[in-house]
Structure 1
Amino acid sequence: MQHQLLDWILISVATISIVWSAYKIREWIHNVCCSPVSYMIVTGKRHYTTDIDINQLIVKLGVLGTFITQDVNIIQKQIESLPWIQQVSVRKQWPDTLKVHIIEYIPLAYWNDLQTISTTGIIFRVPKEYRDNDKKVMPSLYGPEGSERIVLANYYVLNEILKSIKFQIKSVQMDTRCSWQLVLQDNIHLKLGRNNIIGRLYYFIKIYPILIQKINDHNTCIDYIDLRYRSGCAVRWGSHSITPVLCSK
């Protein structure tokens, strides 16, 4: 009889302990899961996006939900509203943290003096405080609406050709008639016209040593070079005199 009583007591104590432990674990899980998301970790290479930008966007959503209830897709769409963001991923990290990974568009050039064009031809706007600094270090591309990918493709080709004589492009412009102009880093304007722009650029490279000789001999500079002629080109010098340059193409 005593053994049965002892067994009953042991079973009761064990049962109470299990129930109590289960209750405490349930209470702990409930408290953790019902606590609001409190921390955020932001990763990714960022040029324009600041922590302040992200915080302000999330504040606009109101009070964040708990680890269980918070919809990360809502936060993701909110951050994607920044025009320079290419991609965002948001996920939860137990017990109260959001992990945000950001991919921005990679800026290549200024587009029509108002926007920025990425390395893949995407047009986007950047924060106002960055525009002046970007314009100092990036070339400018110009073209009619919808022509950004054509202009960008030709920029890549023309810039690669000019690297052979260590020239850099300051700007590329295509007008509504598909006529092309370049401005090089020393403010030389090249008028390439509509046809055979690659051949005309190679012609400029061919005659450039002749032009350099005249620049050195006369202590002058070049305003623009019109390469739209079948044989030769016209050079306008800093003194505003125009000289024909004949050279077989």
Structure 2
Amino acid sequence: MSWSDKRRHWQQKLLQLDWYLWLGLVFLFAVLLGLIAAGRQLHSVLNDADKLPIEAVAIKGERLYTSDREIQQALQSLMQRSFFSADVTQVQQTLEALPWVYSASVRREWPAKLKVYLQEQQPIAHWNGDAWLNVQGEVFQAAAPPGLEKLPLLAGPDDMGSEVLTTYQLLESLLKINGFELASLSLSPRHAWHAMLDNGILLDLGREDNMARVQRFIDVYPILAKQSKAIATVDLRYDTGLAVGWDDAQQESR
């Protein structure tokens, strides 16, 4: 084969390769366009609440204070989204913003349901008059439902809720086994403790040695109870001994 024949042969090969290359590029471009179109269509379907609406929200967990209506109102705008576009994190945060909800977990369940597990606040005491303290010692705000009137009254700085609760539980246990009921306990901004018994006696405990000082009151109470006057306050801030304030008004009314 002459040189000119070889050159023509290779030119034909290159021309053929060029056609293959262009055909391949055209095919690849068509595939890409198809994928883009399909992706847009899928995105439209997944985000179209009319095509994939959320049909139900299943709520689990014991609820005493949070009604179905409150949950429905809280989630009303979020339920306008499709099953896939609904933000479960936002649903969770919205539910946890309800006053009596402590925590919420949310997950999707195919084909059109959200499953929600709620854990409500467990109030253990009134806090500062208009708030609540939960079993974790955390302060929360919520309207007062019926049935919680007999909870103890605790008070103090909001960041000391856990310490106030722990101290209350210790003192309440000590007093109860000795025949007393602790109705309220407060911690002042200067960290001084004041305890009110259900019989109306106020114990001034000071800043330290709460248990020892309450025990001192318990030991002395049988002697104090024999007096003709009613006890109003007992100041236990001394290293030894105590000071008693008598309820003269109550004595006069007898």
- Compute the TM-score of the two structures, normalised by the length of structure 1: 0.72
Please tell me whether the aligned partners of residues 104 and 118 of structure 2 are also in contact (alpha carbons under 8 angstroms). Answer: yes
- Cα deviations across residues 75-101 of structure 1 (Å, max 9, x unaligned)? 112111124322111123333322211
Instruction: Find the aligned partners of 1:197 and 1:240 in 2 and give their Cα distance.
Output: 29
Residue aligning to 2:126? 110
Instruction: Find the aligned partners of 2:160 and 2:86 in 1 and give their Cα distance.
Output: 42
Alignment of 1:209-228 (within 5 A): 209-214=222-227, 218=228, 220-228=229-237
Residue aligning to 1:34? 51
Structure 2 vs 1, CA of residues 120 and 129 (structure 1 numbering), >3 Å: closer, same or farther?
Answer: closer
> CA offset at residue 133 of structure 1?
4.9
Instruction: Find the aligned partners of 1:137 and 1:150 in 2 and give their Cα distance.
Output: 21
Alignment of 1:97-246 (within 5 A): 97-126=113-142, 128-130=143-145, 133-134=147-148, 136-214=149-227, 218=228, 220-239=229-248
> CA offset at residue 71 of structure 1?
3.1
Residue aligning to 1:73? 89
Please tell me whether the aligned partners of residues 78 and 86 of structure 2 are also in contact (alpha carbons under 8 angstroms). Answer: no
Deviating runs (4+, > 4 A) in structure 1?
A: none
> Secondary structure of the residue that 2:117 maps to in structure 1?
strand
Instruction: Find the aligned partners of 2:173 and 2:219 in 1 and give their Cα distance.
Output: 16
Percent identical across equivalent pairs?
A: 33
| Structure 2 unaligned regions, length at least 5 | 1-45
1:60 counterpart = 2:77: yes
> Secondary structure of the residue that 2:174 maps to in structure 1?
helix
For 1:211, the aligned partner's letter is: L
Instruction: Find the aligned partners of 2:208 and 2:87 in 1 and give their Cα distance.
Output: 55
Residue aligning to 2:14? none
> CA offset at residue 161 of structure 1?
1.1
Instruction: Find the aligned partners of 2:95 and 2:208 in 1 and give their Cα distance.
Output: 44
What is the Cα-based RMSD across aligned positions, in Å?
A: 2.5
Instruction: Find the aligned partners of 2:237 and 2:204 in 1 and give their Cα distance.
Output: 7
Aligned residues: 203
Instruction: Find the aligned partners of 1:228 and 1:63 in 2 and give their Cα distance.
Output: 62
Instruction: Find the aligned partners of 1:106 and 1:44 in 2 and give their Cα distance.
Output: 13
Instruction: Find the aligned partners of 2:144 and 2:62 in 1 and give their Cα distance.
Output: 19
For 1:99, the aligned partner's letter is: K
Residue aligning to 1:15? none
